[in-house]
Each structure stands twice: as structure tokens, then as C-alpha cells.
Amino acid sequence: MEPALKMRHDPVYPSRRSPILADNVVATSQPLAAQAGLSILQQGGNAVDAAIATAAALTVVEPSGNGLGSDAFCILWDGKALHGLNASGRSPAAWDLNRFQDGMPNLGVDSITVPGAVSAWVSLSERFGKLDLSTTLAPAVHYAEEGFIVSPVIAKLWAIAAELLADQPGFAQTFLPGGRTPKAGQRFHNPGAAETLREIGRTKGASFYKGALAEKIVKFLKDHGGAMTLEDMASHQPDWCGTLKTSFDDVDLHEIPPNGQGIAALMALGILDHTGIREHGPDDVMAVHLQIEAIKLAYRDLHAYVADRDDMTEIDERALLDPDYLRARAALIDTARAIDHGVGAPKRGGTVLLNTGDASGMMVSFIQSNYAGFGSGVVVPGTGISLQNRGAGFDTVPGHPNCVAGGKRPMHTIIPGFAMKNNQPLMAFGMMGGPIQAQGHVQLLLRTEVWGQDVQTAACAPRWRMIDGVKVACEPTMSQQLRDGLSALGHQISVESPDNAFGFGGAQLVQRLPEGGYVAGSDPRKDGQAVGF
């Protein structure tokens, strides 16, 4: 019989936490949000209800990574089948390349596409939820109205963001009470968000896209020079898009199809299938070298070809995941040296991730994001709606498939992950944090499924992040021997301060046990936790 917890390798990493084992679990980056999801499970909700409750609570208690104006994606196992949901929004119809002759702005009203997270909550609730939407949003309403005590990592990110965003429309009014950011341990209230959440629940999201809330969003953006219209908001629809997959031994990794970067994780895993990575341990120099080289190759294609699926007319996912193509890409890897494959230089982002599982076997991987921390910095007064800056994900090179245009989805960094084994659910997982996300999916999957580490050990393990060319950032917890070995192969290694833990993401993992129940892990780089009963 297969052991319940595979531990062929059992290294102890700094800041190691213990995994949580239970029949019903939630793992996310903020403890109050995790407990919000758990409370919904205890009220008879299922894993989808818990995911919605957790996601909504995160918009309140972790505003440094997401908000009511975020986008979202989801992969879920309903007990019989796997489903993928793309709830990312499109650009205003009036946008064109002429509007952005100086490049895509990272902040302000011209960085905002239609926010899709609320539509994800509504679609998930209507199709798979057991409880009504107002019930699942109730914990978030409570935290917004009664206030919550700000946690340390979020307080720090809040203060950093305020230096950049204080002058953006509506930001200070909502997020700088008394002219300053709240410190860790202080209580923060967001009454506007409480009322917005109530209205979303009452109207099942209709107000946000076609009613009073949509009117407030559009008017405020128009007052500040934005191009968003009521028609742009009303035309938004999330897509049940299914998943793409790559097999590695007896495990299938599933990702959301483009416009997200999940395909890069699939490509890298498919490339690694043709290397000798299985012959090495999780922290061996060659194992890390092979992963870095595979990621470089995948990211070069990601930034050249991936865009809104409707605009991938020449090179599509079938071409990028073709087994013969990936085998040929693997042949480019030199085990003796690092190679500059000409990858791009991805930007960092701000995201939240959560995973849930219930006693019936339903499992959810859900991710929502503002992109860069508080996103555009634009906050609609009196509503608590902070708006993402996903428009910054467009390109401005004419003819590029990801070139900005009206009514188009930009290339997204946020990706939920899901692993299947023998056609049964194995793990709902992911890693927030901009360009490390696809890289992180590969690192987490290999650690848990090839090297047998439990999910919490895999979350705690030192990480690396490909930057561009042969530049690689590593955490200071990575052994000097490993760093020296990578340098000897030609990788330009930089060690990033623990203060920049955000650059190495935040992993959340929920793994199904062979005899039922789950083992869950939560990243120590965040304030969050895995909880269960």
C-alpha cells in the first residue's frame, strides 16, 4: 500500500511548519481569511463555498495583493470532473495602440481592465455552491465593517505601496486612514467594502456589472480620464475554459489555457521529462540547473506567443505543447553550462491564492489578483473597490499577439494549479507572486511528486527565480554549496534579502490522501496558514 505521506527525502528547511491533516481544509495567505473559509465549511458549505468566502475575505484583510476590483482564475474538482474558469476581464473597447504611444502605464485609470473576480464568485456559487452567495460573503462583510487587526507582512507591503500610490484617485481616502498606513496590530475598517459586499450578495453580482456599482466605477474612471464604459462592464462574462495538461510519469499537471502563463509550467515540465532530472535529489545542483534551463526555454516562448487565446492565430497551445517540439527544446539544454536563451524580463506582481478541500472530495484551486500589489492604485470612493492594473500586461509592439487593443484580455501572470494521478484528484496548489508562479508550480510539483516531500516541506524549501538571461535570484536559505555549484555552471546568482520574500512567492497546497482526507501546507513567507477539521 502506498504510504499516506511520502517522505523519501525529509530535509528540514528554515522556518519549517508542520502540515495540517484533516477531512476539510483551507490554505491561504492570511489567517482570518483561512478561518472565514473554514467557518463556511462548518456551516455546511462545500469546498467551493469555502473558496468564495476565503477569496472575499482576502479582498478585505489582504488589500496589498487583491481587492474587489481584481481578476480571478479557478480549477476545481467537483467529485467527478475537472473544471477550469477564466474570470479575467477585457480592455475597454475604446483602447487602441494610439492611446499608448509611450507604452502601457503601470498605474492609474489607463492600466485598468474590466475586473473579473466578482464574476468568478457568482459563477462558482451558481454552478457548484451549496450556500447562497450572501452567506458565503458574510465573513468578509464582518471584517470590513467591524474591522480586522492588520498582520505583519501585509502591513509592510501596505506601507511600501503607499509611497507609490498615495496620489492615485481615491487611494488615500480608503487606505490611508489619518493620512498613514495601519501598522501591524492596528485595526482597520473598510465600511464601503462592507456595503459593496452586501450589494454583491443581494444582487448576485448584477450590481457590479450592470447596476449601481458599475455606474459608480465607470463614473469615477471617466471623471479621471478613463475609457471604461457601462457597456464594457456589462459585456463581461467569465469563461468555463477547461484546462490544459502535461504528463510527468503518472501525474498530470493541469493549468488554465492562455491568456495565462500556466502554459509555461506545462512546457517546462514537458521539457524536463526528456532530461535526467529524476536521477538527482531535490537540492542537487544538477536538478536545479535543469529546472532553470527548462524554465528559460518555456518563458522565451511564453513572452513571444502567449496572449488572449483569440489572438494566438499562428502559434497556439497545441504547437507549444507538442511532444516532439518539447523534446527538441530539451535537447538545447547543456548540462555543463547555463545558456542565455533570450528570455524576457518579467515584472513582479501582487496576488492571493487559496486552496480548499471538503470531506466529499471536492477540491478547489483559486487565485485572484490586482497584479501589482494594490493594482492601479485607483479606488472608487465609498465602495472599497480597488481596481487592478492588468492593462500593464499588454505589449505595445505592433503585430505582437499580446499587443494592446480594445475588448481584449491581456496576458496574465496569475495561475491556479491542479495535479491529477490515475485520473483522480491529487493536489490543488499554486504560488502567488508574478513571474515566479509558473516556475513555482514546477518546483512544487517536482518536490512533492518526484522527490516525495510533504506539502509543507515543499512550501518551506528554499526557492530560486529565473530573472532573465543567465541571471537567477536565490533565497539566502539556499545552501552555499548549491549556489556555488550553480555559479560554476555559469548562472549569475544574486541572493535576495529576506525582506524581499515577496519575490519568491507564497505557496498554498492541499493534497488528497490515498484513504481520504487531506494534507495541507501554507507558505511561511506569508502571514497565512492551513486550517482544517
Q: What is the pLDDT of residues 261-284, one digit of tens each?
A: 999 999 999 999 999 999 999 999
pLDDT of residue 344: 34
> What pTM was estimated for this model as a whole?
0.94
Between vectors from CA 416 to CA 329 and to CA 352, what angle results, nearest 5°? 125
pLDDT of residue 342: 52
For residue 81, count other CB atoms closer than 10 A to its CB.
Answer: 8
Q: How far apart are CA 82 and CA 502, in angstroms?
A: 30
pLDDT of residue 500: 60
Q: Please name which of 244, 242, 253, 243 lies closest in space to residue 421, comparing C-alpha atoms.
A: 253
For residue 15, what pLDDT band results from cuts at 50, 70 and 90? low
| pLDDT over threshold 60, residue 349 | no
Q: Please name which of 434, 433, 369 lies closest in space to residue 115, comparing C-alpha atoms.
A: 369
pLDDT of residue 501: 53
Mean pLDDT (whole number) for 141-166: 95
pLDDT of residue 97: 96
Q: How far apart are CA 130 and CA 146, in angstroms?
A: 26
Q: Residues 133-152: pLDDT tens digits?
A: 999 999 999 999 999 999 99
Q: Is 79 exposed, middle or buried (0-12, 13-18, 19+ CB in 10 A)?
A: middle
Domain parsing of the chain, residue ranges: 1-533
Q: How far apart are CA 148 and CA 60, in angstroms?
A: 9
Residues 6+ apart with CB under 8 A from 152: 184, 527
Q: How far apart are CA 304 and CA 406, in angstroms?
A: 20
| pLDDT over threshold 60, residue 207 | yes
Q: Residues 238-267: pLDDT tens digits?
A: 999 999 999 999 999 999 999 999 999 999
For residue 279, count other CB atoms closer than 10 A to its CB.
Answer: 10
- Give the catalytic positions in this structure: 351
Mean pLDDT (whole number) for 503-513: 94
User: What are the grid coordinates assigned to 89, written together?
Assistant: 476581464
Q: How many CA atoms lie within 13 A of 300 on its CB side?
A: 13
Which residue in this structure is represented by grid cell 528570455? 343
Q: Residues 24-78: pLDDT tens digits?
A: 999 999 999 999 999 999 999 999 999 999 999 999 999 999 999 999 999 999 9
In sequence order, the β-bridge partners of residue 356 are 26, 364
One-letter amino acid for residue 418 of the chain:
F
Q: How far apart are CA 467 and CA 296, in angstroms?
A: 9
Higher pLDDT, 10 or 99: 99
Give, to the nearest 10 degrees, the angle between helix 262-272 and helix 323-330.
70
pLDDT of residue 118: 98
| pLDDT over threshold 60, residue 347 | no
| pLDDT over threshold 90, residue 435 | no
Alpha-helical (H) ranges within 182-272 are 191-203, 206-210, 212-223, 230-234, 262-272
